[in-house]
A and B are shown apart, each in its own frame.
Chain A
């Protein structure tokens, strides 16, 4: 067994190789072996260049570093710091800062905040069950009231399915990122509200703004996108496109031209998401929103989102549409999955409010008449112009001429508002986060019309505003 000695086993083949292999082969192998040995023993290559600081230098840097204060100090007279304190419920007659006024500032369009029937239903519900229930949505928190509310809303809006959120802001801000992801394209109106902007930011998609209500601008953007698509058809086949518009814009009081949008939808194959917070319960013969107002088939809109905090005078929001679309949010809507559900008491209030809406369809006509009346009365105030459609219950009064800076405009409008408040009409300025908005609207006074306001009160408000404008602006 001497032939099995290790040295022999190794030496013989090597000798054979050296004899029979060509020279260049041996040299190449030798170089490769040396290179491997070098790589094995060399230091690992670090991607991030670390400058060689000694521990002492590091400690000095740590000591020297001074962070900014967590929050910058806010001046005491900042207009947004001192809130109006409302004592008691924010109903038709409201007590603001101790003074009794007529409420022209709360979005209580149908007057359901103070409705006796709603209150009685809620108290009965409270006795049967309890105020809230606080659970993470998937587990033991879908109560029969929620199911009932979802069914009723779907039936009312004549869609297949509806889903309820526990907070109005979170509704559209969770719905958009559930469908539109990184790489998708969203065409959105410039005057879209802040909740839509946050939803778009969370979705990380490409945002393309088009001028407010300008269909020609939108078509231009869509055409540009089409030419882009032709250059890269593979990418185009997986890029989803959406248009996000509001039924009645919060920031300008206009309606969106929905029939033209539907035409563009089918021409360029874009899906439409409609935000109906202000128009739900306001527009249309039965209050079904802008689709009823224009007589459009509701299946043409992919997703309708609205909050229940305006017309329904409750808390929360809902999305409705076809099951194909809405069901997806049950697993991927962040505000739905990772949050507690709507307190059942508030869901019961919403159901009762829906009942009232269905039983009295003439309140929408009454509201519309009042909106048109005040719109007419407010024309011709020197120094202030009315912004908004004649049938929009939430109008803006902007300064005809700005006096230089936004700060001064805000101060001037505050004086007008204070004058009115002192004489018994509660108004408020429209509030915005100046640094965060994409297209900041000019400062304005918000005027809200509700069904509870009588004609005398509307007249009083209009004449008071005229007086205030006269005394403050001239």
Chain B
């Protein structure tokens, strides 16, 4: 009893301001937490960057005066008098900060990146300027960095057999655009399936997820329209918005008051100088934000969208397949109807083990995109074996292949997420994001710890992804774990043990809201004392 009360009190402390008050809109608790950066840590991080910058200047000076050998590739002799291609300062970060910990990124692998992966070992004898491969392969590294939410990146299985059959029939490429001679019967089959999966009238599939955004947003909006985009939107959404020529206004991340204020101002005051009314307003949000691990406040966004007569573009790159009781994404997670979202976009890269993107919505929308989308006119369509992979994995998730595998995976992912997040919080790390999001960012802050964390985890056979500036704000570097349905509890426990060790070694346990650990067995009246297992 005491234990449970203590636990309840502690959770209240963490989630105090984050359970929303909009009564009937939310059918389930929405727990998001972004703990503040401790002051000392912030100061030390700045100091760290300052020291690195000073050393950077020193090294540049030494390189310029030939005291140190310059390892950079240089311009051709014949072109030395051309205008320099890169600004010196642009590359300062690259030469002096990124280069020192470059071995944490671009690690080549040589097996399927499933729950475990094999990596090629490489060493550098000149401080990361060049790498040589020793020829050894590090086997069975627990993979916590790949977006493999439902575990479809696997070696054998029905997906692979189906893909082999289609391969021998169709070949790899298509050699034409969708509108010319590239529309195969396989594509039509896929699109019907995607529409059924999402619960929308019609859908269209494209060859690249990034290109889906950057080539379709310009087809939907143009000059005289307004785009309201979240602060932390992905580069593809930002590029698509810029290429469209519409006016872009940014609202604070997941902040509904900020969004409402922008909507009100936009409609009341019209376009900036001419005061003409806007032609249309498009709100761009993502299902799960992969750098923060937060989930969009979809019920509130939809309520606002209806009140102010604007349109909603939802990018479900990470949330499709990963959220919701049957994996249909963030719309199902909140129990809403897919008809409320005007444009449902997503990618097949993360949860389906394939490549490409899709857009789903009403029939008029898809007909319009078939005619005017840049991708349909100028870009090659999806490759047939990839299409087959998507069809097989989607049928598996929907349960249409006759097994329960899909449903089991979705549930396993949800369990893994909750377990992993809870354990990390108990250990005392600062974890960002929503409790149900399978993307778990663990804050590192200091630049040296970025490299150290990556290397220490690799020594212990765990593969993690570390992210720093410029993908994140300069002091908020983090390690990002991506959970998968293919991770078993043993793998997670091993990973957690190692993370605990490394956390103690590098002093990463910054959190000041310590949760009391939950008993792993159900409370039993017959126990009188709590004993540690």
Contacts and interface: CB of A to CB of B under 8 A. Distances in A.
B182 A90 contact: yes
A131 B378 contact: no
A322 interface: yes
B380 A309 contact: yes
Contact of A70 (B83, B120, B164, B280): B280
Contact of A134 (B148, B174, B210, B384): B148
A309 B242 contact: no
Interface stretch (A3-11, A21-29, A78-86, A363-371): A78-86
A338 B214 CA distance: 12
Interface residues on A, range: 35 or more
Contacts, number: 342
Contacts of A80: 179, 370-372, 376-377
A34 interface: no
Contact of B160 (A96, A131, A179): A131
B355 A343 contact: yes
A334 B235 contact: yes
A83 B183 contact: yes
Interface in A114-147: 114-115, 118-119, 122-123, 126-127, 129-136, 138-144, 146-147
Given A91-B171, A123-B167, A313-B171, A269 B311 contact: no
A139 B311 CA distance: 34
B279 to A, nearest CB: 5
A198 B173 contact: no
B160 A90 contact: no
Contacts of A337: 235
A328 interface: yes
Given A74-B368, A90-B181, A433 B379 contact: no
B107 interface: yes
Nearest to A201: B243
Interface stretch (B61-69, B346-354, B525-533): B346-354
Given A58-B268, A65-B267, A340-B349, A433 B354 contact: no
Contact of A81 (B171, B214, B371): B371
Contact of B173 (A70, A134, A202, A314): A314
Contact of B364 (A71, A335, A446): A71
A331 interface: yes
Interface stretch (A233-241, A288-296, A379-387): A233-241
Contacts of B267: 61-62, 65
Contact of A140 (B82, B109, B234, B235): B109
A243 to B, nearest CB: 12
A266 B117 CA distance: 49
B113 A133 contact: yes
Nearest to B343: A70
B55 interface: no
Nearest to A311: B175
Contacts of A309: 173-175, 380
A220 B513 CA distance: 69
A115 B167 CA distance: 11
Given A70-B311, A126-B167, A349-B173, A133 B181 contact: no
A209 B186 CA distance: 40
A456 to B, nearest CB: 22
Contacts of B136: none
A105 B181 contact: yes
B76 interface: yes
B167 A122 contact: yes
A450 B155 CA distance: 36
B365 A271 contact: no
A279 interface: no
A328 B90 CA distance: 11
Contacts of B148: 134
A428 interface: yes
A377 interface: no
Contact of B171 (A96, A118, A136, A335): A118
Given A88-B169, A89-B170, A139 B354 contact: no
B519 interface: no
Contact of B210 (A201, A240, A338): A338
A322 B167 contact: no
Contacts of B385: 122, 131, 345
Interface in B144-181: 145-148, 153-155, 159-160, 163-164, 167-181
A310 B175 contact: yes
Contacts of B448: none
Given A168-B380, A194-B378, A139 B94 contact: no
Given A314-B173, A338-B210, A432-B377, A71 B107 contact: no
A195 interface: yes
A126 B112 CA distance: 10
B410 interface: no
A446 B179 CA distance: 13
B222 to A, nearest CB: 9
A130 B146 contact: no
Contacts of A139: 105, 145-146, 465
A132 B173 contact: no
A193 B73 contact: no
A224 B397 CA distance: 62
Contacts of A323: 73
Contact of B83 (A85, A237, A331): A237
Contacts of B231: none
B400 interface: no
Contacts of A201: 243
A108 interface: yes
Interface in B87-130: 87, 94, 98, 105-113, 117, 120
Given A74-B364, A126-B163, A428-B180, A314 B172 contact: yes
A349 B172 contact: yes
A419 interface: no
A81 B370 CA distance: 6
A166 B380 CA distance: 11
B60 interface: no
Given A130-B353, A339-B209, 9 more contacts: A62-B264, A66-B309, A86-B183, A88-B169, A96-B181, A135-B113, A135-B147, A141-B146, A431-B180
Across the A-B interface, give the 9 residue pairs with the lowest CB-CB distance, nearest first. A167-B208, A71-B368, A349-B172, A324-B73, A169-B379, A83-B183, A339-B210, A134-B349, A105-B181
6 contacts: A135-B349, A140-B109, A236-B83, A313-B172, A324-B73, A429-B180
